[in-house]
Chain A
Amino acid sequence: MADISKYFLVVYAALIGGFVYAPISTMVLFSFNSSSRTVPPFDGPSLNWYNAALGSAQIVDAFTRSLLLGVATTALATALFTLAGLAYRKSFRGGSFFFYLIAVGIIMPGITYSLGLELFYGSLRVPISLWTALPAHLIWTIPWGLILVRATIDPNMLVYEDAARTLGASEARVMRHVTLPLFLPAIIGGALFAFTLSFTDLVRSIFVTFPDTLPLQIYSLSQLRVAPDIFAVGSLIVIVSIGLLLVASYFLRGTLRRLSL
């Protein structure tokens, strides 16, 4: 009985994986199409659309901007949500209210928020640039990391910290050798999430970004036409990120093994 439900769930998880990956796999396939068709039949392999995408300064520049913004967002958001998360090891007056205030960033409908930020910059006469999108991305990504870090906290943490202190560890050593390792999975998860959300954000950036990031660029291109060069960009992102992940997991395998204990 237990086994049947387990197999059922394995199959179900595989189906969900299939649902998520079905369009991705055909996207990769049609990015190699020699014609401009994006529906079957497949007209034979070619790298035409990759040449088109990589040869387009519009797309390459937009990609570079997205990467820059994504890295900056990840670095800043990770620092901020880690600090904020550490505050919640102890309960403090206003803590719950502050948490919900920060969480408004993910609850707020994106387009409304983007409009608000545009009005804000407008009233201060700040010209819209790539970096005016940075606060929008921070407001969007910090709460996710904070939720992850706060969900990791359990009462034992303070006991471990006190034990280390009793054994004569300095505050800096407690932080480095006890507190941060306990939070590391949540911090890494939050950072990964932050990059993902920033790199792909369209809705929150729409009124506060100039020139276009990759999602904005592709959105405006797609209003004119749907050609496999858009699929080529998507496929490159998938292929490169799977490659990066494999490399990262190779280097992090020691840490991963320790975490699973």
Chain B
Amino acid sequence: MPSEQGSRNLSSYLLIAPTLAVVVVFLVLPLILVLRVSFLQHVPLGYTEQLTPDNYDFVFTNEGVRNTLAFTIETASIVTAGSLLLAYPVAYFLARKVMSFTVKTAFLVFLLIPFWIDFTTRSLAWIPWLGTQGIINDVLLAVGAIKQPATIFLYSSFAMDLVMVQAYTLFMVAPLFISMSKIDPILYEAAQTLGASRLRTFLHINLRLTLPGMGIGCVFVFLASLADFATPKLIGGLVTSIGELIRDNVTFVNLPNASAISALVVVIALAVLVLTFRLAHVEQIFE
């Protein structure tokens, strides 16, 4: 019945139309504006309609921008790897070993609660642990591992990485959990019946079939850490992040420069996204 098919298709478009309208107006148009302003001439307190490549010239030749970008990408990679390692066993445990729906929900909610505290407080909550007079230093001093309080734990890249991993791990657990829950348990039995070792079963079934979940989780964590201006500022000490650079340019009303750096970040984000989604076959998570 082609007419039935047609009407169902029409209903799909009607259902998605309100969301698409919001996305086009409040996401697509603003991003086009960033691109446009990145090519406009900066004047004090604003910009003119004059087209210019100067902003990109600044972005690509300025050593500060280059170093900051490299450092931010390095941080994002460390944080992504850390979150993946932390989150994978948790998702595996929840999806494969916990049978009760209530316990699963309870654990996920338990993980969610800290995320209702605002970002700044959550970062600063590490101070009692990481400070020079903090718990970690106290313990290390007590057991004699160090002679004087170490200062590397707080206001350092270590603190920044740690706080980011904690802040973003949940975003890794969620997609991993979804893709792991979708694995048909019969595949494990089949593999075992066919004589596969536990390691092989894990590698060929679990790891392979959770690739889409890993892809989504990694892309998310990578991009979130790439754009994070607050954690480096709050707890990273003397480091500068690319997010902070954008924010400084906005604060000093150099919107064209802020836009050009932003456009560069968007290009990196899209490249990471497309590459990961291709490699990880992310579409499979919805099949």
- Chain A interface residues (CB < 8 Å from chain B): 1, 6, 9-10, 12-13, 16-17, 19-24, 26-27, 29-30, 38-40, 80-81, 83-84, 86-90, 92-93, 95-96, 98, 101-102, 104-113, 115-120, 123, 135-136, 138-139, 142, 146-148, 150-151, 153, 192-193, 196, 199-200, 202-203, 206-207, 214-215, 218-219, 222, 226, 230-231, 233-234, 237-238, 241-242, 245, 256-257, 259-260
Contact = CB atoms under 8 A, between A and B. Distances in A.
23 contacts: A9-B89, A13-B90, A24-B125, A26-B128, A27-B121, A40-B134, A83-B19, A96-B283, A107-B223, A107-B273, A108-B269, A109-B227, A109-B262, A110-B227, A111-B227, A116-B262, A119-B30, A142-B19, A147-B216, A202-B230, A203-B229, A222-B124, A242-B113
Given A86-B15, A110-B224, A116-B30, 11 more contacts: A23-B128, A27-B117, A27-B121, A30-B128, A38-B127, A111-B243, A116-B31, A139-B26, A151-B178, A151-B285, A242-B113
B105 A40 contact: no
A30 B283 CA distance: 46
Nearest to B119: A202
Interface in B113-163: 113-122, 124-129, 131, 133-135, 138
Given A26-B128, A109-B243, A153-B286, A98 B20 contact: yes
A230 B228 contact: no
Contacts of B243: 109, 111, 203
A114 B273 CA distance: 20
Contact of A81 (B19, B26, B220, B228): B19
B22 A142 contact: yes
Contacts of B206: none
A230 B105 CA distance: 30
Contact of A40 (B100, B128, B169): B128
Nearest to B285: A151
A222 B233 CA distance: 11
Q: Which of A22, A111, A117, A142 has its CB near the most chain B CB atoms (within 10 A)?
A: A111
Interface string B206-236: 0000000000100110011011111000100
